[in-house]
Structure 1
């Protein structure tokens, strides 16, 4: 019988083996006392197993409030497994099993889901990314190198006409990818029913003139019925991407959107700090991104190096590498997600990003890094592309700048976040 497993970093005032047994019982056949219906046969078939307990360091004080009191608190790596028949092919029930009440156990003063391992049967039953990296490249007309992108700024307040005017500047500058900000979906001042046709007129005119159609990710976040209607609106006007705030629509809504969608789904993870910011509470991105890919996200945000956010650079790269690692090695289905680098990215992060990732299968979105260029939006776009061309060719930015005036200006205008 196939099984699935989950790995955790826990902290407990108890012996870690005892805490792990409490975790296994709580999330399968057991509870706080013995029940008549919990037969040996039922336990044999449905109980969670403690697969591994690896003690780590101890600490004098608990990381989280509410746990059982203790003189010291032991940290440990714990792995549990369950029979797949406990949940069937259901992402919400997978999450209820590997997280659920574990987050509230008094036996634990720290709890973090670090990874999940799922059998092929489960992965194959999930919708997964529909377009992944190859489909995204095909629709955006970018067969190599990163997709150079940006975000509509200001994030809020622009009318559909104002937004379309900005899009015109960006597509004429040679941008590959543009996205709505997460703060705008279908507000009264810029209804999606007006914003989509206004923007797509500009993009279609550009495509007819140049043969190149940049990708625009329209934010369709809403309830399930709203997202289906909004997706169809984008599709019917020739759009090639939709975006959703995955933490707020929920896993089931993402699955429902994916099963309906005929366009790539750009997964925006705003609110991610709730899951990762405390080192002893939440979810590691390796587990999180796997669940979102199974649900159908084609692109997933991973922050960026030297960004304005608190996430460490090592975590950003590990997140991107996780997105690029297939869930099913032997499948014909490409279930990778294209990592999206964002947050205060400029020309300077390109070399470090490529050196760590060794791949250009990514979307590199720059707001101020493009729109703040002293010579204008077109020069900003050119400078980011030149930075990546230099990086991939093995040249330094300064060396390549001798051939790229816009890169020269950018080197003067943007201080390196890695210096000083």
Structure 2
């Protein structure tokens, strides 16, 4: 029988073995009282199983507020692995999410819970096609065969008109940028409507492609309802665009799945809101299992934050997230997507990013790190590119800067 396996960090004031059984029952065939219809045969066929329970430690206080104090006065932390028969739900991502990350977070016996790993049977890969483009398709459409895609985000995030946005894009493509994305805050606001923005930006991009012999990739943020997203995708396609962007936590699994079915362009997936799912270490998700679900749903690019970022995430967590995006979803279905590094990035992070990932299959975006260059946007793009070339060649930035005026100048303002 094919089964789904999920591993959790669990904290409980109850006996951990009893808490594990409560969780297994709640997330499968059981409820808060014994029912005659939950026969031994049904439970053996449909019940979740406790596959592993390893006690890790104890504490005197619960990690999360709880209405019931631990009878023993202590709280136990454990590693818990549960499994479910695929027959309970079939290869359905929304029901999978309800199964592995549903009511179990709310149980009284749970004072801390975090999903840390997820293993899925091949049926999910048969039901969901995963990324249509991934690394290879992104490289083909952007014309960047080797090294990272050097990218940026339109800044300021909001407040620019359509014409001003197109002017920013003009500076970037003239400066040799590989990848440009809308900010997650800019989709179809009245001050910068989506349709007008796409048409104005693509006029600039098409002209640049004629000069450069390749077309910089622009990820237009089409986040909206299903009909809006499909129509916006079709406009980008008609205008010759090569990428669309969506905010995952805004559109949901159904939104991304249906967009993937419709799309003929790579989907740049933004994780806006990730902090409310992950920032408390005793609650929520690790990135590795979370991104696996979204890759199955069709994400071609996935944000992973960046080293020494402006947010709260530690560098080891960022690199673990990026490596997860490049790892296979399962042995039979690699479905690799492209990790996207962002958040307060400059060329100073290039070497450590390259070393930590062990690959240049990535998009590295810098907003202020490019737009803030004292020599202008073109110098900002060049300095970022030169920093990455130095990283790949194992050359120190200070040495590389002797041959690159743009990089030398950047080292004076990058922080």
- Shorter-normalised TM-score: what interval? over 0.9
Q: 1-side partners of 2:124 and 2:168: how far apart? A: 44
CA contact (8 A) 2:120 2:330 kept: no
Shift of residue 16, structure 1, vs aligned partner:
1.1
Alignment-derived partner of residue 188 in structure 2: 186
Q: 2-side partners of 1:209 and 1:355: how far apart? A: 34
* 2:90 equivalent to 1:120: no
2:286 to 279, 284, 287: 284
* 2:191 equivalent to 1:198: no
* 2:234 equivalent to 1:236: no
Q: 1-side partners of 2:273 and 2:367: how far apart? A: 19
Normalised to the residue count of structure 2, the TM-score between the two structures is: 0.98
CA contact (8 A) 2:131 2:299 kept: yes
CA contact (8 A) 1:67 1:108 kept: no
* 2:52 equivalent to 1:56: no
Q: 1-side partners of 2:292 and 2:123: how far apart? A: 15
Q: 2-side partners of 1:167 and 1:143: how far apart? A: 22
2:161 to 146, 159, 162: 159
CA contact (8 A) 2:122 2:332 kept: no
CA contact (8 A) 1:148 1:177 kept: yes
Alignment-derived partner of residue 402 in structure 1: 402
Deviates more, 1:50-59 or 1:118-127: 118-127
Shift of residue 248, structure 1, vs aligned partner:
1.0
Shift of residue 34, structure 1, vs aligned partner:
1.1
CA contact (8 A) 1:67 1:107 kept: no
CA contact (8 A) 1:185 1:221 kept: yes
**What CA deviation, in whole Å up to 9, does each residue of 1:119-175 have, x standing for no partner?**
112222112111000000000000000000000001111111111111011001000
Q: 2-side partners of 1:93 and 1:292: how far apart? A: 14
State the SS of the aligned residue for 2:29: coil
Q: Report matched runs for 1:259-274 at 5 Å.
A: 259-274=261-276
How much is the aligned-residue C-alpha RMSD, in angstroms?
Answer: 0.9
Shift of residue 67, structure 1, vs aligned partner:
4.7
State the SS of the aligned residue for 1:250: helix
State the SS of the aligned residue for 1:244: strand
Alignment-derived partner of residue 358 in structure 1: 358
- Say how many residue pairs are matched: 413
Q: 2-side partners of 1:384 and 1:110: how far apart? A: 42
State the SS of the aligned residue for 2:412: helix
Q: 1-side partners of 2:253 and 2:147: how far apart? A: 31
Shift of residue 36, structure 1, vs aligned partner:
1.5
**What CA deviation, in whole Å up to 9, does each residue of 1:191-249 have, x standing for no partner?**
11111010000000111122110000000000111111111111111110000010111
CA contact (8 A) 1:12 1:73 kept: yes
Q: 2-side partners of 1:4 and 1:89: how far apart? A: 10
Unaligned 5+ runs, structure 2: none
State the SS of the aligned residue for 2:284: strand
Shift of residue 41, structure 1, vs aligned partner:
1.5
Q: 1-side partners of 2:65 and 2:337: how far apart? A: 36
